[in-house]
Amino acid sequence: KAGVTQTPRYLIKTRGQQVTLSCSPISGHRSVSWYQQTPGQGLQFLFEYFSETQRNKGNFPGRFSGRQFSNSRSEMNVSTLELGDSALYLCASSWRGQEADGYTFGSGTRLTVV
């Protein structure tokens, strides 16, 4: 059974640019969540999608957005990149995104903003 796949693994972007990250969940999982991991703030929840709808959102500015497609694959977009956006971005999938569900994480996309 294939795990959660995130592409690309590494990205270097310049301040002011925008970036799109991709996540393919485990087959059959309909919920996809995104997290940002930094040394200072740790792992923080960005948003969660279920059946192509954003169901939950963390405390991040509107520059961070996402979407989910009918096959449950998800993309995350960050516009007008800032140096502080440098982080490991992790995608997690679960069957329904309910409290009782476990979440499986991908290996992440390491974004560096210069």
Question: In this chain, which of 51, 56, 80, 112 binds another protein, going by CB under 8 A?
Answer: 56
Shortest Å, Cβ 16 to another protein: 28
Q: Are 43 and 35 in contact (CB under 8 A)?
A: yes
78 near another protein, rule: CB under 8 A: no
Output the six-digit token pair for 40: 């200072």
Q: In whole angstroms, how close is the CB of 63 to another protein at the nearest point?
A: 20
Confirm or reject binding of residue 52 to another protein (CB under 8 A).
Answer: no
Tokens found for residue 28? 């059959």
Q: Which stretch binds another protein (CB under 8 A): 13-21, 59-67, 72-80, 95-103?
A: 95-103
Burial class from Cβ neighbours inside 10 Å (0-12, 13-18, 19+) for residue 111 reads buried
